[in-house]
Amino acid sequence: MVDEVIRADGLTKVFNKSLVAVDHISFSVKRGEIFGFLGPNGAGKTTTIKMLTTVLRPTEGRAFVMGYDIVKQASSVRKVIGVVPQEYTADEDLTGYENIMLCAALYGIPRDVARKRALELFDLVELTRFKDKRVETYSGGMRRRLELACGLINRPKIFFLDEPTLGLDVQTRVAIWDYIRRLKDEYDITIFMTTHYMEEADALCDRIAIIDYGKIVALDSPSNLKNTLGGDIITLAIKENIDVTEIIRSVENVKDVKYDGRVYRIKAESGEITAPLIIEALRRKGYTVTKLFLSKPTLDEVYLEYTGRSMRDTEESMESFIRHRITMRRARAR
Amino acid sequence: MSTLEESSPSLVRGLLALTARELKKWLKDPVMLVMFILQPLIWMGFLGKSININALFSQHNISVPDLIPIPGSYLVPPLQGIVYVNGTLLQQFFSNVGSEVMRSTFGVADYFSYMAIGMISMIIVMTSTFSGVSIVWDRRLGFLDKVLSTPVPRTAIIFSKILNAILRAMFQSTVILMLAYILGLQLSPSFTLINILGVYAAISLVSIGLSSIFLAFSIRSTRMERPMQFISLITMPLMFASNTFFPINLMPGWLQIVVRANPLTYLTDAIRQLTIMQPNPLALAVDFIYLTAFAAILATVGIILSWKYLTE
Ligand SMILES: Nc1ncnc2c1ncn2[C@@H]1O[C@H](COP(=O)(O)OP(=O)(O)OP(=O)(O)O)[C@@H](O)[C@H]1O
Ligand SMILES: [Mg+2]
């Protein structure tokens, strides 16, 4: 059996001869893992998924999915993958059941087999009660769950999820993560997903590739990536107008301290334990902490670390803006 | 590995599933359905009934005195005095001229019937072009990409748009024909239900041609605006430069050339012959040959271009 279920070699996509959406990326995904692409709007996540799922043809480079060449053996690739696109593609006017049976037909799954699987999947994503209701009446979370079920109707070996929780509220997002984990365990699949939420990558992924301007700038497990950031960030201010950098530095677990004349920016491991120690150390020397703010590493900081600049406010193209709007609107439906 | 073998994507299964999706969507959208029926109905009702060409000549419209005095000198210059013409006879004469003119120019006795069939052609053009252009929506909503990531044959996607166009066009024409019949369309005595099959054949040919070429035209766009503008740009001239509203032989020569190249002319003529006229076998054969050629050429070009795009 292949242990490397996806391999990309210098995969590149250039739009309109000038826009390099994906720029010579190489990576491999191991069997059974959840592999995440993390990056801001326009980074090239969707474009990568579209190439791997044979919807777009790469401009350059090669990739293999379950050992099949995505260009030369596209039809073999299509049989072994399941895809949940960024957009909500289920038909509003049809029922959940009709939608999933449509997916089954596209894979040529015999009707009786499809029916059995559909019921099983509805059960798994807890939509059984709603399967004969029109999708129009579904909430954003229910729609995502339906999409997940549709994507699994052909029992894929690899499941591609493009921003599976885009536009959902935090609670629903956490619930969707749960479903994704459950589906993965139930069906023993490898998952390739994209997201621009750090927490999501953190919660779900075994390994993350950070992608920016079409390039992979870092690739590792979430904890390793965060560790390279040097841990959490504690921001504090004291009443006295004296530089206490050295005192702070002497506290255990503090990695780095920067003082800009007003506040101290402290990099520290396990911030929630280190922060009280810092306060205590300062108090013992007679200083009073007036403000303290603890932040966990965010996408911004990972970015800052790997790209040398803050996560840019990408200017979305009109097209992707509209797509996002449609997706968001449907996510927030009901 | 048994899962691999059991799923064998077939063209027919995919085609039927995709077509069923579109038809279900369509049937579940009553507003669109009503609009598509209402529009030709309004045209038929207002235009078909208001342009009452017979009435121009008919006795009820012209009030003529029983005896019309005409100075004799008007008729033959040296003649003196007044000549009386019998008004009733004159009226009858004009009325007959009216029917004759209608018959010889339009081929039927009333304009409403003539116009109603024209409306069927119009609706076929609308439905078929829309069906092709609807791929833009599929693309926009991400549905097309999702379908493309499945192993369903690409031809199933293309043919589903065409089949959808044919089925809708048939359904709508049937409804309009029935409505027109209720509103007073006069079927020719030679009309039988078998003629309907001929009508469906003509409709299918035009639907195939138009939907596939419009599919190819819009499959690359991500916006609806461009194809829609194109549709509105061509449908009006296509309708007016045809025999939809008016017979060809009353048009200026240059226009006749355009009209005779217009497939709508042949479609409308074929349907008229099969429904409200005494069919002329030769003319009917010409209609069908032209429509077949039209469908074959446009479908070939349209399908090849679309297929190329879908498989890149
Ligand atoms: N079909 C296309 N034609 C031209 N440019 C495109 C096309 N699709 C994507 N792009 C451009 O390629 C770049 C990468 O887009 P992509 O959709 O892959 O980004 P993404 O990482 O998925 O971002 P998002 O968070 O917006 O989904 C963007 O600049 C986008 O505008
Ligand atoms: Mg994307």
d(CA B33, CA B30): 5
User: Do residues B182 and B102 touch, judged by C-beta distance below 8 A?
Assistant: no
Task: Mutation target for B interface from A106, A111, A153: give the one with most B CBs within 10 A.
Answer: A106
Instruction: Classify residue B57: in a domain, yes or no.
Output: no
Point out the least confidently predicted range of A214-228, B28-42, B67-81, B210-224: B67-81
The answer to whether residues B290 and B141 belong to one domain is: yes
The answer to whether residues B179 and B305 belong to one domain is: yes
The answer to whether residues B96 and B198 belong to one domain is: no
A150 or A242: which leads in pLDDT: A150
Inter-chain residue contact A89 with B146, CB threshold 8 Å: yes
Inter-chain residue contact B7 with A80, CB threshold 8 Å: no
Instruction: Classify residue B56: in a domain, yes or no.
Output: no
Q: Residue A287: is it exposed, middle or buried by C-beta count within 10 angstroms (0-12/13-18/19+)?
A: middle
Separation of CA B170 and ligand 2 centre (Å): 40
pLDDT value for A166: 86
Separation of CA B69 and ligand 2 centre (Å): 87
Residues in A touching B309 (Cβ below 8 Å)? none
| Token reading at B195 | 């003629």
Tokens 């439906």, residue located:
A333
Buried b (16+ CB within 10 A) or exposed e, B139-161: bbbbbbbbbbbbbbbbbbbbbbb
Question: What residue owns the CA closest to ligand 1's atom 4?
Answer: A15
The answer to whether residues B192 and B94 belong to one domain is: no
Residue-wise pLDDT for B117-141, tens only, equals 988 898 899 889 989 999 999 998 8
Residue A296's CB is within 10 A of a number of other CB atoms, namely 15
Taking residues A178-206, report their average pLDDT.
Answer: 89
Q: Which atom of ligand 1 sits closest to the CA of residue A37?
A: 21
pLDDT value for B224: 80
Tell me, using a 6 A CB cutoff, whether residue A95 lines ligand 1.
no
Point out the least confidently predicted range of A72-86, A178-192, A243-257, B247-261: B247-261
B32 or A134: which leads in pLDDT: A134
Instruction: Classify residue B73: in a domain, yes or no.
Output: yes
Give the number of domains in chain B. Answer: 2
The answer to whether residues B79 and B197 belong to one domain is: no
Q: Which residue of A has its CA nearest to B151?
A: A78
Tokens 């966990």, residue located:
A296
Residue-wise pLDDT for A52-87, tens only, equals 999 999 999 999 999 999 999 999 999 999 999 998
The answer to whether residues B189 and B230 belong to one domain is: yes
Q: Which of A87, A213, A299, A317 to mutate to test ligand 1, by most ligand atoms within 8 A of the CB atom?
A: A317
The answer to whether residues B80 and B22 belong to one domain is: no
Pairing of strands A254-259, A264-268: antiparallel
Inter-chain residue contact A89 with B143, CB threshold 8 Å: yes
Instruction: Classify residue B96: in a domain, yes or no.
Output: yes
The answer to whether residues B33 and B145 belong to one domain is: yes
The answer to whether residues B34 and B95 belong to one domain is: no
pLDDT value for B72: 66
| Token reading at B216 | 């190819």
Q: Which domain holds residue B209?
A: 3-51+107-311
Minimal Cα–Cα distance from B302 to chain A, Å?
21
Inter-chain residue contact B14 with A106, CB threshold 8 Å: yes
Cα three-residue angle A109-A115-A116, rounded to 5 degrees = 105
Helix (H) or strand (E) holding A112: helix A111-124
Q: How far, CA to CA in Å, does B146 sit from each of A102, A120, B139, B149, B220?
A: 12, 22, 9, 5, 16
- Cβ-defined contacts of A50-53 (< 8 Å, 24+): A50/B145, A51/A11, A51/A13, A51/A22, A52/A6, A52/A8, A52/A160, A52/A192, A53/A77, A53/A78, A53/A81, A53/A83, A53/A160, A53/B149
Q: How far, CA to CA in Å, does A276 sit from each of A251, A281, A289?
A: 10, 9, 11
pLDDT value for B207: 97
| Average of per-residue pLDDT values in chain B | 83
The answer to whether residues B101 and B111 belong to one domain is: no
Tell me, using a 6 A CB cutoff, whether residue A231 lines ligand 1.
no
d(CA A205, CA A55): 24
A316 or A266: which leads in pLDDT: A266
The candidate with the shortest Cα–Cα distance to B108, out of B207, B246, B288, is: B246
Instruction: Report whether pLDDT(B169) > 50.
Output: yes
pLDDT value for B52: 60
Instruction: Classify residue B252: in a domain, yes or no.
Output: yes
Taking residues A287-315, report their average pLDDT.
Answer: 70
User: Do residues A203 and A170 touch, judged by C-beta distance below 8 A?
Assistant: no
DSSP A136: G
ipTM: 0.79
Separation of CA A323 and ligand 2 centre (Å): 9
B165 or B45: which leads in pLDDT: B165
Tokens 């009660």, residue located:
A129
Instruction: Report whether pLDDT(A6) > 90.
Output: yes
pLDDT value for B93: 66
Residue-wise pLDDT for A205-244, tens only, equals 999 999 988 999 999 988 788 777 767 888 899 988 888 8
Tell me, using a 6 A CB cutoff, whether residue A321 lines ligand 1.
no
Residue-wise pLDDT for B74-112, tens only, equals 666 666 677 676 767 666 666 666 666 666 667 776 778
Residue-wise pLDDT for A19-31, tens only, equals 999 999 999 999 9
Point out the least confidently predicted range of B58-67, B205-214, B229-238: B58-67
Tell me, using a 6 A CB cutoff, whether residue A45 lines ligand 1.
yes
The answer to whether residues B172 and B283 belong to one domain is: yes
Q: How confident is the model at residue A144 (pLDDT cuts 50, 70, 90)?
A: very high
C-alpha R_g of chain A: 23
pLDDT value for A19: 92
The answer to whether residues B242 and B184 belong to one domain is: yes
Give the nearest partner residue to A87 out of B14, B16, B142, using CB atoms.
B142
Q: Which domains does chain A have, with CATH numbers?
A: 4-225 (3.40.50.300), 230-296 (3.30.70.100)
